[in-house]
Chain A
């Protein structure tokens, strides 16, 4: 009798524990993420949101959520500009002042109207954050001209500033609400976006619902749920069994697996993330330009695309084909083993041993392929895989011969990316860049050129110098993709893999 009672107690306790729910949030009784009704969309995110602050984008989830709850002035969707909070915008003749005309009927979720003061406040607080030094240099002044007009004065001609305002941290916040609530304003956010926060089941899911007074463009998705699934294999199974609708950037292996499934669709294309090889031009054996160029000729980037990206990437031309101020010139090195051998001989470094540093984040697949390529020209390459922060430290301090990483170009603009990559600030060094006295002057001249054609030509010249220097080689532009349940319409692919406004999607 006693035993039975004990067993009953254990079972009851177990059921009670399991039934206690998760985090005390109210649920509507649906299975996790089940969103088969045609006004709901469930999107997988790998991590939870830190807080709903558009300026604090630590994870992809922060970015994904920021774009639904907050509005940006403009958006770049499917290669075209869309006004979001701004109805229209115009530049002055020399492209140093841009004026935004706001949607007059736009309101925050609390009902407060969105004003030019809110835009000014959001932009100014964003510029004060660490990591915004480069943006701060470009923007001289932000003025609220009237209740619905904002004027931004720039330090130099810069039409591509619009790209910057479309990036995650430039979401527009409610000034009075933020000042009144402090940090709590980002736990219960008050944006003006198409969706407002319904519930946050910490670590598990975030539910949004359409903002009933939203006056911008919105499709038929009224309920938007973000399901937090860290392991992508689990996310793929959830998509297959129908409990989620969309995965952003599935791995190559999962794409191959899902291609067989006729219930899902895959949209893929090249991203703005490239795998890159950096070589130290200041010290060590890679200080020899002939050796660096030999390495550049020896790398078979087609093979890297085939093996590491299953052929879904795009062999890089040294920049991205859809970037502003890109002339179409190929700045990359052809695959030419004979030329590479010749250059190694010239450098007198045949049979030498080099080390490439990679990290757990980037893996050793691409470095292994480079190792095989260099073996063909008589160079032994050792691969050193480091912990992520040690890897970054070595990059900053120039403690490398060859350094491998994949990184994203956030602004689709040759001028921005070239300046950011190769401009050498005072008292610091970029160990892969051409010498500062040589490159900085050219970069400054190109930056200040207002005419687009002349600007493009100046950047062509700089990128030719960069090619000749062979300190940084862009290898393959990685693929970007969305995998989703069949029936979802108006799906666009963001090359950065994160700027999605689900208000434009439809069932």
Chain B
């Protein structure tokens, strides 16, 4: 198992290199330049050229990429074009916010989605199942920014129960976390239901029931453990996606997360910032997927056995 983990960690190096090259190429190949964006659409050409020179943007693509990677290997990810501060200073300011929100959102989604999915499967075609299914479809299809604004209008403006923006107290987290978690909760609910329905029709579950094992035990010990495997994998992926930032939610609730930082950096063609954030996120995503695989191995002995053979 430890060899497998080490192998996966080493695999992150080429993944990050490929990701960095793709992002760097896209940023270089798209028209426009930071000097132009910083100085405005109708700035003088000589001013634009002078600023691009100062930012080092006037050198050839490959030279810039090789310099960037070589500096990055020495721990220097460059200075943000927007404030000339080290990019990781900006990333580390924004990341705790995204991490906190993502963790809260994923926990909420799991706490809501999995039990409701189990309930739906166990009570298939009942009124509870129908209500859960309809709610899941509604929440999966509602656009996040619309839901955010509706929640703000209701809870902040009309009822005045919750703050509309900022992040000073635990109350500030309720609306954004709810907005971020509902669509994941809906997906987890649907996936758990489908997976449970498949599992509870398996022979071993039928055997357990025929042997007189209480229904609660059959569901929680026999069926749920197996049904959760695909759900765990999806939880890992959703967590990675949430970490990357839900730009619209961050924007509506005025939360300075990583998504907002990256979006602003892309708009300004702030190459060091976009590169630093992408490399950071690619690393985080790879680690999360690895952790998810390890969790799966602990839950399912068959998976564990597979890794051990290798």
A residues sitting closer than 8 Å to B (CB atoms) are 10, 13-15, 17-23, 27, 31-33, 47-48, 50-51, 56, 58-59, 130-134, 183, 202-205, 227-231, 233-235, 237-238, 240-241, 243, 359, 361, 387-393, 395-396, 405, 407, 425, 428
A31 to B50, CA, bound (A): 45
Q: Interface readout for B45-67 with A: 1 if CB under 8 Å, 0 if not? A: 11110110110000000000000
A33 cross-chain contacts in B, Cβ below 8 A: 165-166
A231 to B83, CA, bound (A): 22
Residue of B nearest to A229 (CB): B254
Contact B256 A228 (CB under 8 A): yes
A425 cross-chain contacts in B, Cβ below 8 A: 44-46
Contact A204 B83 (CB under 8 A): no
**Contacting A205 at CB < 8 Å: which of B37, B111, B149, B166?**
B166
A15 to B171, CA, bound (A): 10
A183 to B82, CA, bound (A): 14
A395 cross-chain contacts in B, Cβ below 8 A: 41-42
B residues sitting closer than 8 Å to A (CB atoms) are 30-33, 35-48, 50-51, 53-54, 80, 82-85, 93-94, 96-97, 100, 103-104, 107-108, 111, 149, 152-153, 156-157, 160, 163-170, 172-173, 177, 250-256, 260, 264, 267-269
Which of B44, B54, B251, B254 lies at the interface centre, i.e. has the most chain A CB atoms within 10 A of its CB? B254
A233 cross-chain contacts in B, Cβ below 8 A: 149, 252
**Contacting B254 at CB < 8 Å: which of A27, A56, A231, A393?**
A231
A243 cross-chain contacts in B, Cβ below 8 A: 163-165
Not counting A50-B85, A130-B51, a sample of 7 additional A-B residue pairs whose C-beta atoms are within 8 angstroms of each other reads A14-B108, A20-B100, A202-B256, A204-B167, A230-B260, A234-B152, A425-B44
A151 CB → nearest B CB, Å: 27
A282 CB → nearest B CB, Å: 15
A241 to B159, CA, bound (A): 10
Taking A228-B256, A389-B33 as contacts, is the C-beta distance between A238 and B170 under 8 angstroms?
A: no
Contact B168 A407 (CB under 8 A): no
Residue of A nearest to B253 (CB): A234
A130 to B58, CA, bound (A): 14
A35 CB → nearest B CB, Å: 13
Contact B156 A17 (CB under 8 A): no
Residue of A nearest to B79 (CB): A183
Contact B83 A428 (CB under 8 A): no
Residue of B nearest to A186 (CB): B83
A153 to B204, CA, bound (A): 93
A18 to B177, CA, bound (A): 10
**Contacting A14 at CB < 8 Å: which of B46, B107, B172?**
B107
A387 to B93, CA, bound (A): 29
B3 CB → nearest A CB, Å: 32
Taking A32-B168, A183-B85, A230-B254 as contacts, is the C-beta distance between A130 and B42 under 8 angstroms?
A: no
Query: Could you pull out 7 A-B pairs where Cβ atoms are within 8 angstroms?
Result: A10-B107, A14-B104, A51-B84, A234-B152, A359-B41, A387-B30, A387-B31
B149 cross-chain contacts in A, Cβ below 8 A: 233-234
B276 CB → nearest A CB, Å: 16
B100 cross-chain contacts in A, Cβ below 8 A: 17-18, 20
Taking A131-B51, A425-B46 as contacts, is the C-beta distance between A393 and B36 under 8 angstroms?
A: yes
Contact A396 B45 (CB under 8 A): yes
**Contacting A428 at CB < 8 Å: which of B33, B46, B93?**
B46
B267 cross-chain contacts in A, Cβ below 8 A: 388
A240 cross-chain contacts in B, Cβ below 8 A: 157
A131 to B269, CA, bound (A): 18
**Contacting A237 at CB < 8 Å: which of B39, B96, B152, B256?**
B152
Contact B41 A392 (CB under 8 A): yes
Contact A203 B94 (CB under 8 A): yes
Complex A-B, nearest 4 residue pairs according to Cβ-Cβ distance, in ascending order: A389-B32, A203-B256, A32-B166, A50-B83
Contact B168 A27 (CB under 8 A): yes
Contact A130 B40 (CB under 8 A): no
A76 to B97, CA, bound (A): 40
Contact A48 B252 (CB under 8 A): no
Contact B170 A15 (CB under 8 A): yes
A307 to B15, CA, bound (A): 50
A231 cross-chain contacts in B, Cβ below 8 A: 251-252, 254
Contact B48 A388 (CB under 8 A): no
Contact B93 A10 (CB under 8 A): no
Residue of B nearest to A20 (CB): B100
Contact B254 A22 (CB under 8 A): no
Contact A392 B37 (CB under 8 A): yes
A51 cross-chain contacts in B, Cβ below 8 A: 83-85
A131 cross-chain contacts in B, Cβ below 8 A: 38-39, 43, 47, 50-51
**Contacting A390 at CB < 8 Å: which of B32, B163, B164?**
B32
A348 to B45, CA, bound (A): 35
Residue of A nearest to B45 (CB): A428
Residue of B nearest to A406 (CB): B41
A47 to B270, CA, bound (A): 15
A240 CB → nearest B CB, Å: 6
A47 to B96, CA, bound (A): 19
A58 to B105, CA, bound (A): 33
Contact B165 A229 (CB under 8 A): yes
B50 cross-chain contacts in A, Cβ below 8 A: 130-131, 133
Taking A233-B149, A407-B42 as contacts, is the C-beta distance between A18 and B104 under 8 angstroms?
A: yes
A148 to B54, CA, bound (A): 34
B111 cross-chain contacts in A, Cβ below 8 A: 10
Which of B94, B164, B251 lies at the interface centre, i.e. has the most chain A CB atoms within 10 A of its CB? B164
A432 to B251, CA, bound (A): 38
B98 CB → nearest A CB, Å: 11
A20 cross-chain contacts in B, Cβ below 8 A: 100
Contact A234 B164 (CB under 8 A): yes
Residue of B nearest to A407 (CB): B42
Contact A228 B36 (CB under 8 A): no
A364 CB → nearest B CB, Å: 16
